[in-house]
């Protein structure tokens, strides 16, 4: 005569069956899972120079970052489902319009479904270049040294295309001003990259 399994075995088995059933039902009726939620992750190994990735803009035209060679860049990685990413946009719009930073080209790279991005920017105007990619957007993030995709994050490059720093997490105006002033000093020849990074670390530490 077979022994009845212990209650904990029956409970675990029931939970597993219920979980699998819920998973397949959700896939059937709700479609595929969305892209993963934002996390606060540090860059793995930041490349010395800006990678030359190519993604489609809001009109569907392929745009390579090399198009902006010779200009300092602010490259913001974001997604419509990321709350801190959405909170950044008004501040980034203000930066894009600020004459004090007119030499910077601001580029938003949306790691998201194209239709969701186009729908979102109809409701929330974005005053800077927007590039869009799903898997290729995640590949672009990895090219910037992100071991895992944590959003938002923002890369700052000088006129030579060197990555001065990458800020992980929501960017606020005081933080942006510290970083941008250091990049301006590098481009003016007043300090080198090492000194700029030290200035950024010190300035951000005072804000935090």
Residue 122 CA to residue 126 CA, distance in Å, equals 9
Q: Are residues 22 and 59 in the same domain?
A: no
Give the model's pLDDT for residue 149. Answer: 65
Q: Which of 170, 191, 160, 6 is nearest to 72 (CA)?
A: 160
Residue 77 parent element (H or E): strand 73-78
In a domain, 178, yes or no: yes
Instruction: Quote the number of domains for the chain.
Output: 2
Q: Are residues 17 and 110 in the same domain?
A: no
pTM: 0.79
In a domain, 137, yes or no: yes
Range of the domain at 21: 1-33
In a domain, 48, yes or no: no
Q: Are residues 9 and 61 in the same domain?
A: no
Q: Are residues 188 and 98 in the same domain?
A: yes
Q: Which of 10, 41, 15 is nearest to 153 (CA)?
A: 41
Q: Are residues 103 and 174 in the same domain?
A: yes
Q: Are residues 78 and 168 in the same domain?
A: yes
- For the segment 142-201, what is each residue's pLDDT rounded down to a tens digit? 999 987 768 999 999 999 999 999 999 999 999 999 999 999 999 999 999 999 999 999
Q: Are residues 66 and 122 in the same domain?
A: yes
Structure tokens, 128: 């800077």
pLDDT score of 42 more than 80? no
The dihedral region occupied by 132, where left means phi > 0, alpha psi between -120 and 50, and beta the remainder, is beta
In a domain, 44, yes or no: no
The dihedral region occupied by 66, where left means phi > 0, alpha psi between -120 and 50, and beta the remainder, is alpha
Q: Are residues 196 and 131 in the same domain?
A: yes
Residue 188 CA to residue 145 CA, distance in Å, equals 27
Q: Are residues 114 and 178 in the same domain?
A: yes
In a domain, 175, yes or no: yes
In a domain, 40, yes or no: no
Count the helices and strands in the chain (H runs, E runs): 6, 7
Confidence of residue 44 (pLDDT cuts 50, 70, 90): low
Residue 112 CA to residue 125 CA, distance in Å, equals 17
- For the segment 94-151, what is each residue's pLDDT rounded down to a tens digit? 999 999 999 999 999 999 999 999 999 999 999 999 999 999 999 999 999 987 768 9
In a domain, 43, yes or no: no
Q: Are residues 199 and 116 in the same domain?
A: yes
Return the sign of the alpha-carbon dihedral for residues 160, 166, 171, 172: negative
Residue 137 CA to residue 147 CA, distance in Å, equals 14
In a domain, 131, yes or no: yes
> Alpha helix locations (H) across 39-172?
83-97, 114-123, 135-143
Q: Are residues 90 and 156 in the same domain?
A: yes
């Amino acid at each position: 005569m077979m022994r009845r399994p212990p209650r904990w075995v029956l409970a675990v088995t029931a939970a597993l069956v219920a979980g699998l059933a819920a998973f397949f039902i959700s896939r059937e009726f709700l479609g595929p899972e969305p892209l993963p939620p934002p996390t606060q992750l540090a860059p793995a190994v930041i490349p010395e120079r800006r990678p030359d990735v190519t993604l489609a803009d809001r009109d569907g035209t392929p745009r390579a970052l090399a198009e902006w060679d010779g200009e300092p860049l602010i490259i913001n990685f974001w997604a419509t489902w990321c709350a801190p990413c959405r909170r950044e946009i008004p501040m980034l719009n203000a930066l894009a319009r600020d004459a004090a930073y007119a030499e910077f080209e601001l580029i938003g790279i949306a790691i998201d479904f194209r239709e969701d991005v186009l729908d979102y920017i109809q409701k929330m105007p974005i005053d800077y270049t927007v590039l869009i990619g799903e898997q290729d957007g995640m590949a672009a993030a990895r090219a910037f040294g992100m071991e895992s995709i944590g959003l938002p994050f923002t890369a700052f490059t000088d006129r030579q295309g060197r990555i001065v720093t990458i800020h992980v997490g929501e960017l606020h105006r005081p933080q942006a001003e510290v970083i941008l002033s250091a990049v301006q000093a590098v481009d003016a020849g007043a300090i080198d990259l090492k000194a700029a990074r030290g200035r950024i670390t010190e300035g951000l530490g005072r804000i935090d």
